[in-house]
Amino acid sequence: MKKLLNLDKNDRWDLEGIEFAIKERVGKPEHFIGRIREIEFLYKWADNIRNEVSRSIAFLGRRKIGKSLILERLYNIIYSEKKGLIPFYYEFLEGRRSGKEFYEDFISRFYLQVIGYYTKDIRLNRLAVDRRTTVNFTLLLRQLKTLDIPHKAEIMRDLDACTQMVERDESPYEYVIAATATPRGFATTPGVEEKIVQMIDEFQYLNMYIDAGLEDKPCKAYMATAEMKVAPLIITGSLMGVVSEELMRWLPHRFDEFIVPGMDAQEAINMTMNYGKIYGHSITSEIASYIIHITNNVPGRIIDILSPKFGKPLITNVVDADNALKYEAETGTIKHDWDEYLILAMKAVNDINMRRMTWFLCRHEGEWFYPMDLKRKMSLDIDDQKLREELGILYKYDIVEKNQGRYGGVFDRTLKKVLMTNYRDILELPDEDFDEYFRNDSLLDYLKERIKQLEMSLEEADILRNKLKKLQGDHNNLKGHYYERVILLGLIKSIINKNAGLTEGISATDFSYKLSSFLESGNEIDIVLEGGDVVIMAECKNYAPEYIQKITKKMVEEFVEKSRRLAKERFQHKKLRLAYFSKNGFEDKLKPVFENYGIFFGSNHLETCFGF
């Protein structure tokens, strides 16, 4: 795992050892930046399948958050390791298909990937995930006849049975059940030791577009399959509310749900800078920070903003970034993507109250309202149950957010921009409200967040200053303790090397040391190192260069006094050697003081003191 999950300082992946069995939609593999936390989590989940302890999971997130990219990179890592896990990727698409058509397509693509795993022929894996290509049982059986792979007889037997089932006229839902059961069926075949990692992309389209006859919720076919530990699933869904509701109603307790977060801020900045350079923009880290703000750290939206189009400006400042977003929201990819996404929701959002609620919550982004609070603040004339149903529909189609029973505005600025720019007539927005709301909207949001970080009351500032002072003190103490250990290691190394000077005559087999020795008076000495007939006492200062003047003659003399006192109390029969260290050196005027008291002194350059 460590070998294949390495990033450099700019969050770029170390690609050595990764075989790209399927082509990643990111393009060149080196363009995939970051997402290490998410892939580490999924890798550990997949690795636990070998021990049959992983549960099926739902990996949910809105469009362009990077779900499919993460799955594709995970697929290639698992394939490359050859650790007894066979990755299987299947993407549900928009468009109506019969249960029988789905049956042949799903099983054929599954077995193509199994064969690709055994033969190490990535052409088969790429064929299996290429939706432009039609695959079927006849093609698969012809391919198998010439190959010598493990479990060939079992696979051919299953495909023969599948061919016979296609020729019959079963109920559409029976085909769905049989298809979804195939991966777990193969994994439980006697003699098959490999486990299956099922990666099912865009799960919401299973119920929407697969015709299962009388059964209008074909996702139920996964009721038993999802619990099988030899072939658990990771499913993704762009319509988070839809998928979450379907899992709750039709597949209860079968999936653990996780929301795919936006990119880590630093990863997003590095990705923005990388693509900015590729596309010819002049982007500083400050501009990159603004771009990830207006895109909510969503990687696909960052690419949409940066991708060049005729009439779209190159980005050199935040105004250009705003204009790029305006272009995308009005006529670009962002508009077309969200149009496709919103069409389902807009069929449901068809009365004045729902439009008003959408507008109200968007205007009050960042605030949360219980249904009754919303009814009171908006003076809604609506039945309580009807209100909850309508809010539920808005949430189901990701038009509003929900948090512990309260509802809030959309937290995706690109969706909000498209929604309000292109659906103002549906939402019945007055022109003056529209202009007021969207005049420099993104920049104002950004500046408001910055202002919130700066605007604090005097009382809050005092509290923070005190906390900062304490934390700074703790931090300085930690730095001091670390420096003491650096010096101690230098002393030990000097003893081992039998160097002259401070450690001369101390045997490597006969010494002990203590950090932070206290006298009866309460005074402290940083390092006490005791040899056969010698004891070394050292003071260590980790002051910044601008503060070395704080080391004074009086401070040195106090060190000498407390060291002699400790030597008299505990080391009467040993020769005392004194040392004073400062990481960033001393003022020249202190050197005669050290020489007068016979003190070894040095800085971070330990060789000047220890002789190594």
Going from N- to C-terminal start, the domains of the chain cover 29-259, 265-331, 335-454, 461-610
Q: Please give the share of the chain, as a percent, with pLDDT higher than 70.
A: 87
pLDDT digits (tens, 9 = 90+) for 509-549: 888 888 887 776 677 889 999 998 999 999 998 888 888 99
Residue 515's φ and ψ, nearest 5 degrees, are -95, 140
Q: State the pLDDT at residue 1.
A: 47
Using pLDDT thresholds of 50, 70 and 90, give the confidence band for residue 419: confident
CA 103 to chain centre: 35
Confidence of residue 365 (pLDDT cuts 50, 70, 90): confident
For 434-500, give the DSSP string.
Answer: HHHHHTTHHHHHHHHHHHHHH---HHHHHHHHHHHHHHHHHHHHHHHHHHHHHHHHHHHHHHHTT-S
Which class is domain 335-454? mainly alpha
User: How far apart (Å, rounded) are the C-alpha atoms in residues 490 and 543?
Assistant: 19
Q: How confident is the model at residue 125 (pLDDT cuts 50, 70, 90)?
A: very high
pTM over 0.85: no
User: Confidence class of residue 209 from pLDDT cuts 50, 70 and 90?
Assistant: very high
Helix H or strand E encompassing 128: helix 122-129
Q: Which residue has the higher pLDDT, 513 or 3?
A: 513
Check: CB of residue 233 under 8 Å from CB of residue 183.
Answer: no
Give kind and range of the element (H or E) at residue 210.
strand 210-211
Q: What percent of the chain has pLDDT over 90?
A: 54
Q: What pLDDT sits at residue 247?
A: 94
Kindly provide the b/e burial profile for residues 95-127, where b requires at least 16 CB atoms within 10 angstroms of the residue's own CB: eeeebbebbbbbbbbbbbbbbbbbeeebebbbb
Q: Say if residue 47 is exposed, middle or buried (CB neighbours under 10 Å; 0-12, 13-18, 19+).
A: middle
Q: Which CATH class is domain 29-259?
A: alpha beta
CA-CA distance, 550 to 541, in Å (whole number)?
A: 10
Whole-number Å distance between alpha carbons of 449 and 162? 59
Helix (H, G, I), strand (E, B), or coil: what is residue 120? coil
- Rounded Cα distance between 134 and 128, Å, is 9
List of residues 6+ apart from 100 with CB closer than 8 A:
166, 170, 172, 175
Identify the three-state secondary structure at position 134: coil
The Cβ-side half-sphere exposure at 589, using a 13 Å CA radius, reads: 7
Amino acid found at 188:
T
Looking at residue 607, its pLDDT comes to: 46
Two tokens at 529?
């190192």
Cβ atoms of 237 and 204 within 8 Å: the answer is yes
Residue 194 has pLDDT above 90, yes or no: yes
Mapped onto helix, strand or coil, the DSSP state of residue 263 is coil
Q: What DSSP element (H or E) covers 575?
A: strand 575-582
- Architecture of the domain defined by 461-610: 3-Layer(aba) Sandwich (3.40)
